[in-house]
């Protein structure tokens, strides 16, 4: 059985157990998971959803796919995550906001307590975009269990992969049921197509990979954290570079190890010369993209686009690799 089947059901059960939710629904990719979660959560035409301008564009695109308007709040310059104070200002100005969709960016949990308080105060849904945060925790609670629902991506760059794939987690059985129908052409338990849905199902082949990866995930996250700690210790106090932070009660999963640098051009030149890989996430804000009108007005996020740089942190590195990365970075920032 190559298509959706028992491997998928087993993966869903195991992932729900890992995250600590009652339900998990596997999807063909992380964007499909976001779309399904929003539509099943009642988000649609006439609604607006507050999210971050500083993440991968899929988060905002999914809001648009659902028929709603993405409304961008600025970010916290220390964590790179959506700033709760910026969201509050939006909520005080607009009466069409139906949900908040922050991202646990780079694997660092967002301020879930503050966002849950906002959601309760303004009678909104809080959704988690956990595409980058497999294995992260907030006050000991697994990311993916902190809001009405959460989505994960299993793209190959993530902390675990199914090649392509996604997952929605929730404690709400009715929401889980609507998501399951939505991703299966609207098919209900009797086999009838009760709503117009999509073909967003995961395959058994993807799920089999995912089940094996999930077993390895805790070890891999721990290795990422060890590599991050080693680099941060070396970078502490080094002029021209700011290592990522890990606020109290938040366990960073280090999907990316992202630093802020004063002279990114000099650093990338040095890394290119040394054959050390790196990434820039993100060189543009979402509203600054052509598809979103190339708008400005999010000064904190816009500043980060010129300063952030992500260094290798994955589990397959060894101590020699880390020393090479540190040496090249130190040489570049010291000039």
Question: Are 321 and 314 contacting, i.e. CB atoms less than 8 angstroms apart?
Answer: no
Domain that holds residue 325: 217-334
Question: Phi and psi for 66 in degrees, rounded to 5?
Answer: -75, -5
pLDDT tens column, 199-233: 999 999 999 999 999 999 999 999 999 999 999 99
pLDDT tens column, 290-322: 999 999 999 999 999 999 999 999 999 999 999
pLDDT-based confidence at residue 114 (cuts at 50, 70, 90): very high
Would you call 158 exposed, middle or buried from its count of C-beta atoms within 10 A (0-12, 13-18, 19+)? buried
Output the domain CATH number for residue 39: 3.40.640.10
Mean pLDDT to the nearest integer, 163-179: 98
Are 48 and 104 within one domain? Answer: yes
Is residue 1 a part of any domain in this protein?
A: no
Are 72 and 152 within one domain? Answer: yes
Are 195 and 274 within one domain? Answer: no
- Indicate whether 80 pLDDT > 90: yes
Could you say which of 194, 212, 230 is where a domain stops?
Answer: 212
- Residue 234 to residue 330: CA distance in whole angstroms: 9
Is residue 322 a part of any domain in this protein?
A: yes
Could you say which of 157, 186, 212 is where a domain stops?
Answer: 212
Q: In total, how many domains does the chain have? A: 2
- Indicate whether 194 pLDDT > 90: no
pLDDT-based confidence at residue 335 (cuts at 50, 70, 90): confident
pLDDT-based confidence at residue 190 (cuts at 50, 70, 90): confident
- Indicate whether 334 pLDDT > 90: no
Is residue 88 a part of any domain in this protein?
A: yes
Are 111 and 200 within one domain? Answer: yes
Are 190 and 274 within one domain? Answer: no
Are 272 and 185 within one domain? Answer: no
Q: Which of 256, 238, 268 is nearest to 314 (CA)?
A: 256
Mean pLDDT to the nearest integer, 107-122: 98
Are 21 and 109 within one domain? Answer: yes
Output the domain CATH number for residue 224: 3.90.1150.10
- Residue 16 to residue 282: CA distance in whole angstroms: 30
Average pLDDT score, the chain: 97
Are 92 and 166 within one domain? Answer: yes
Of 191-195, 230-234, 326-330, minimum mean pLDDT range = 191-195
pLDDT tens column, 228-284: 999 999 999 999 999 999 999 999 999 999 999 999 999 999 999 999 999 999 999
Mean pLDDT to the nearest integer, 118-132: 98
Are 150 and 227 within one domain? Answer: no
| pLDDT reported for residue 108 | 98
Q: The tokens of 306 are what?
A: 């010129």
Is residue 181 a part of any domain in this protein?
A: yes
Are 230 and 153 within one domain? Answer: no
Are 195 and 224 within one domain? Answer: no
Are 144 and 179 within one domain? Answer: yes
Could you say which of 168, 184, 212 is where a domain stops?
Answer: 212
């Amino acid at each position: 059985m190559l298509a959706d089947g028992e491997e998928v059901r087993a993966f869903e059960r195991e992932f729900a157990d890992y995250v600590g939710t009652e339900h998990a629904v596997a999807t063909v990719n992380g964007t499909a998971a976001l779309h399904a979660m929003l539509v099943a959560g009642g988000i649609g035409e006439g609604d607006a959803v507050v999210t971050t301008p500083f993440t991968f564009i899929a988060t905002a695109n999914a809001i648009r796919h659902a028929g709603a308007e993405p409304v961008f709040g600025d970010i916290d310059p220390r964590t790179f995550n959506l700033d709760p104070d910026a969201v509050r200002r939006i909520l005080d100005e607009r009466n069409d906001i139906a949900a908040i969709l922050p991202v646990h960016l780079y694997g660092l949990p967002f301020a879930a307590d503050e966002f849950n308080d906002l959601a309760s105060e303004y009678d909104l849904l809080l959704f988690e975009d956990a595409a980058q945060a497999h294995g992260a925790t907030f006050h000991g609670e697994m990311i993916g269990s902190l809001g009405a629902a959460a989505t994960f991506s299993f793209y190959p760059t993530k902390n675990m992969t199914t090649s392509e794939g996604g997952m929605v987690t929730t404690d709400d059985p009715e929401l889980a049921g609507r998501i399951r129908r939505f991703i299966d052409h609207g098919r209900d338990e009797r086999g009838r197509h009760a709503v117009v849905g999509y073909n967003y199902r995961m395959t058994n082949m993807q799920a089999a990979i995912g089940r094996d990866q999930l077993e390895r995930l805790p070890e891999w996250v721990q290795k990422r954290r060890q590599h991050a700690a080693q680099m941060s210790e070396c970078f502490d106090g080094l002029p021209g570079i700011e290592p990522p932070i890990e606020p109290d009660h938040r366990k960073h999963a280090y999907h990316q190890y992202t630093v802020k640098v004063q002279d990114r051009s000099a650093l990338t030149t040095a890394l290119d010369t040394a054959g050390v890989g790196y990434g820039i996430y993100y060189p543009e804000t979402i509203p600054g993209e052509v598809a979103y009108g190339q708008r400005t007005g999010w000064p904190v996020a816009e500043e980060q686009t010129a300063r952030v740089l992500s260094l290798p942190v994955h589990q397959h590195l060894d101590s020699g690799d880390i020393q090479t990365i540190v040496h090249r970075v130190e040489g570049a920032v010291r000039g």
